[in-house]
Amino acid sequence: MTARVLLHAPFETITPMVDDRWGSLEQIDAGTCAIVLGGRSLDGIAEWLVAFGVDFTVLEPAGLRDACRAQSEQLRLLADRYSRA
pLDDT in tens, 29-60: 999 999 999 999 999 999 999 999 999 999 99
pLDDT of 55:
97
Q: How much is the pLDDT for 84?
A: 79
Alpha helices (H) along the chain: 11-14, 42-51, 63-83
Q: What is the pLDDT of residue 38?
A: 94
CATH number at residue 72: 3.30.70.250
CA distance 48 to 23: 11
Q: How many domains, the chain?
A: 1
**Measured distance between the N- and C-terminal CA atoms of the chain, rounded to whole angstroms:** 38
Domain that residue 8 falls in? 2-83
Is-contact 56 7, C-beta < 8 A? yes
Could you tell me the pTM of the whole model? 0.89
Confidence bin at 85 (pLDDT 50/70/90):
low
Q: What is the mean pLDDT of residues 17-23?
A: 92
Whether residue 18 has pLDDT greater than 80: yes
